[in-house]
Structure 1
Amino acid sequence: MKTKISTLFALVLCIFSLNASAIKLSKDATISILTCAPGNELYSLFGHTGIRITDEANRLDIVFNYGTFDFETQGFYFKFAQGLLPYQLSCTDFDYFVRSYHREKRSVYSQTLNLDSIQKQYLMDLLVENYQPQNRSYLYNFLYDNCSTRVRDIIEKSTDNHITWTAEPSTKSFWNLLDEYLRRSPWTQWGIHTILGSPATSTATTREQMFLPDYLMYRLDSAAYNGNRLVEPIEVIYQAPEQDLSTPWYLSPFFVFAVCTLAFILLLQKYKSRRLLKAVAIPFFIATGIIGCLIVFLCFFTKHPTMFPNFNALWANPLNLIAAFFLGKRELPWIINKYISVYLYILIIGFLLWFLFIPAVPYASMVIFVWMMYLCIRLR
């Protein structure tokens, strides 16, 4: 019964009573950073971070969460694509928070901050201030402003930016960091690599690496404040069972693209039919054109900072949509013939440049380069 009263009290306190002076923590209150393991859904592939406030004197055990969004937001998907989807700071009961990760079989870890009572109160006041209706929303940015970086920033602010972050020098790029989580989902990996521009190949600093919850947890574990450890050793709140969620190699984009390309080439080499060639080419010109439109949209009409330049536009050209319309005609207009020739040269140059100094194209897409070059040569 006490737990139910405590939970109800905490939720009512969070929802109705939070203001700059609503909660005065006792001297025994603790503040912990919760790190949640990656999940299976796209939005949970990289894990999650929350801040737990525990204070028995106030019957308080709650979690502040900067990763909340509302599917009912008007124009949700369009705003998400534009980088204009508002995320919010939410507050929930700790038991409810952990149960949700238990259901999803995602481990939860905790690190207690070694702060004095004044700093704990200051951090709590900052959270309460952030939770005000006029402050709780922010424009989410996956690499630079998310549930993990917000936690890092508020910890730094509560300690007057006197934290010493220690880590071994790293040459990892944002791509390298993301790939650590995407290898088990190769199709998602290919998709993200396709839409992210070359800025994502830049090396991430120690501080920038903390956009990933796991990296924040490990950086906190080695961080120092006033010559002492910033946090207590990592504690396991819930250990999920091991799961093998990897995708078989024969279902990877590279293998599928390679097999399909080889099969189509053998088919078209055996049957020298112009009509069959066009029937095969049209869907691929449409698909690459649509992907090209998406890349152009992300590069020039969104707030995402790592989309331009994107060298995947060398094979995913929006003009392919127009070319696809004319491929169905008996005779190709001269301008379409000219476009196919120019597109072929672009593909050849892009393929060669990839070997030299453009790493920002996934390996699977190099098969698409080869396939589209073959189609252009046959269509000319």
Structure 2
Amino acid sequence: MKKLLVLLYLILASWSVRAQQDSVRVSLLTCAPGTEIYELFGHTAIRYENPAEGKDLVFNYGIFSFNTPNFVLRFVKGETDYRLGVVPYSYFEGEYAVRGSSVYQQTLNLTDEEKQKIWDLLEENYRPGNRIYRYNYFYDNCTTRARDKIEDCIDGKVVYPQAEEGVTFRDIVHRCTKGNEWDELGIDLCLGSEADVPIDGRKQMFAPFNMLEAARGAVIMQGDSVRPLVLSESKVVDVEPEEAEPGFPLSPLSCVCILLVVTCIIVWLQLKWKKVIWAWDLLLFGAQGLAGCIIAFLFFFSIHPTVGSNWLIVLFNPIPLIYLPVMIYKAIKGRKDLYHLINMAYLTFFIMIMPFIQQEFNVTVLPLALCLLVCSTGHVFLYYRQNSK
């Protein structure tokens, strides 16, 4: 009888342990975009639930602080450090509900051993000496980190479905910035030709919703065994997106077209009055030079991916800003300025080769180049008109 009771106790204990193990869930969380520029692409995190131990935690690799010393400079240089943060799920859920971002949960089809592995891995990753990492927007971000940690705990190989072919980093960025034309313009001006090279499915997973789609069709292969990566999917935060505050009413293209019309009017007035309106040179070429300083800094000093191959450095560079005092002085004195003759030929050449450069330029680039070309052409015509008598 005593042996029977012991055996019954062992069976019940085994069932209890098994039930506790089965109650553990590991999920991939994908958050809908917000309204800020750094929220436009969405977000990814890992949820770990262990009701028997009272654990319901979210591991978030997307934590950063604007208060970090020299944050803007470090971000531009590509030296931004992100860290792993851990919060109770209720806090995470509340934050995204208030923000107006829905959250999708994909419960992973992991074995008990794999669940324990990912817990140990995440716990180790959260140690003070391990939680900080060097963020890289395309190759090492909150989404790729979550994917890699999940793969590291799996006994077998995760095989993802065939990804869309011919997709580039810029294509995915444009999908995420759709409807936010000014943000898209800023990003487009920074990205170079490397952003227009087709990428494979794994690289496409840098974007949270690309990762969600990939996980949805992925399988785990272990020997002859094949099981789906995702056991179930649900929408754990279902809210209406927060309405973005009204931005600038005109699109970048509209503004640049207006700028081109104004430049043409200024040039016409200069020819009519036979006098250079040098304040317009100060505004136009000064803005070109300032934009060129940013692009040149990214081109030569930033370690961000793709910015070092930006052909826009041909159009936007610091030379006009450096030369600007001489340009204004000669304009005021009515002296010949070879800069405008050279610039006219230079810009004409750039516009002609644009279709052949393996880089997708923002729609505003051509009218911007035409503004500069019209302005320099006006200077050349004005000088020869004044000295043709």
TM-score, with structure 2 as normaliser:
0.86
Tell me by how many angstroms 1:332 deviates.
8.0
Matches within 5 A, 1:231-380: 231-242=230-241, 245=244, 251-272=250-271, 273=273, 277-330=277-330, 337-380=337-380
Alpha-carbon distance, 1:27 to partner: 4.0
1:287 to 1:161, Cα distance in 2 relative to 1, 3 A: farther
Query: Which residue number corresponds to residue 229 of structure 1?
Result: 228
Is the 2:102–2:241 contact (alpha carbons within 8 Å) kept by the matching residues of 1? no
1:292-334, CA deviations, whole angstroms, 9 ceiling, x for partnerless residues?
Answer: 1111111111211211221111221210102222232145899
Q: Quick one: distance in 1 between partners of 2:155 and 2:274?
A: 71
Larger radius of gyration: 2
Query: Which residue identity lines up with residue 228 of structure 2 in the other structure?
Result: R
Q: Is the 8 A contact 1:314 1:346 kept in 2?
A: no
Amino acid at match of 1:46: F
Cα separation, 2, equivalents of 1:142 and 1:274: 52
CA 1:358 to 1:341, structure 2 compared with 1: closer, same or farther past 3 Å?
farther
Q: 8 Å contact 1:184–1:246 — kept in the other structure?
A: no
Q: Distance in 2 between matches of 1:41 and 1:167?
A: 32
Greater Cα offset, 339-348 or 170-179: 339-348
Alignment match of 2:154 (pick from 149, 152, 159):
159
* SS of residue matched to 2:115: helix
- Which deviations, in whole Å up to 9, do the C-alpha atoms of 1:70-101 show, x marking residues without a partner? 22211111111111111000100101101111
What are the equivalent positions in structure 2 for 1:70-81 lying under 5 Å apart? 70-81=65-76
Are the equivalent residues in 2 in contact too, given 1:311–1:360 (CA < 8 A)? no
Judge conservation of contact 1:250–1:256 (CA < 8 Å) in 2. Answer: no
Q: Which amino acid aligns with 2:28?
A: I
Contact 1:111/1:232 (8 A) holds in 2: yes
Could you tell me which residue of structure 2 aligns to residue 10 of structure 1?
none
Cα distance in 1 for residues equivalent to 2:336 and 2:207: 46
Change (3 A) 1:111 1:363: same
* Alpha-carbon contact 1:184-1:247 (below 8 Å) kept: no
Partner of 1:61: 56
Taking the aligned partners of 1:106 and 1:238, their CA distance within structure 2 comes to 8
Distance in structure 1 (CA, Å) of the matches to 2:56 and 2:104: 16
Which stretch shows the higher mean deviation, 263-272 or 245-254? 245-254
1:261-317 Cα distance to aligned partner (Å, 9 max, x none): 113312431453465532112111111111111111111112112112211112212
CA distance in 2, matches of 1:274, 1:202: 49
Alignment-derived partner of residue 20 in structure 1: none
Contact 1:326 1:332 in 2 (8 A): no
The equivalent of 1:197 in structure 2 is 192
Partner SS for 1:73 = coil
Count residues in correspondence.
Answer: 356
| 2:208 equivalent in structure 1 | 213
Given the alignment, which residue of 131, 137, 153 partners 2:132? Answer: 137
User: Which sections of structure 2, spanning at least 5 residues, go unmatched?
Assistant: 1-19, 381-389
Aligned to 1:32, which of 27, 32, 36? 27
Structure 1, 40-49 or 66-75: larger mean CA deviation: 66-75
Name which of structure 1's ranges 311-320 and 272-281 shifts more when overlaid on structure 2. Answer: 272-281
Judged with a 3 Å threshold, the aligned counterparts in structure 2 of structure 1 residues 368 and 225 are, in CA distance, closer, same or farther, namely same
Aligned equivalent of 2:110, options 112, 115, 119: 115
Deviation at 1:243, TM superposition (A): 5.9
Which secondary structure does the structure 2 equivalent of 1:91 belong to? strand
- SS of 1:40's equivalent? coil
Aligned partners of 2:274 and 2:98: how far apart in 1?
55
TM-align CA RMSD: 2.3
Q: Distance in 2 between matches of 1:110 and 1:370?
A: 49
Go from structure 1 to structure 2 and tell me whether the alpha carbon gap of 1:121 and 1:319 turns closer, same or farther (over 3 Å shift). Answer: same
Shift of 1:256: 1.4
TM-score by length of 1: 0.88
Measured after TM superposition, the shift of residue 232 of structure 1 is 2.4
Q: 1:256/1:338 Cα in 2 relative to 1: closer, same or farther (>3 Å)?
A: same
> What secondary structure is seen at the aligned counterpart in 2 of 1:170?
coil
Measure, in 1, the Cα distance between the counterparts of 2:351 and 2:285: 18
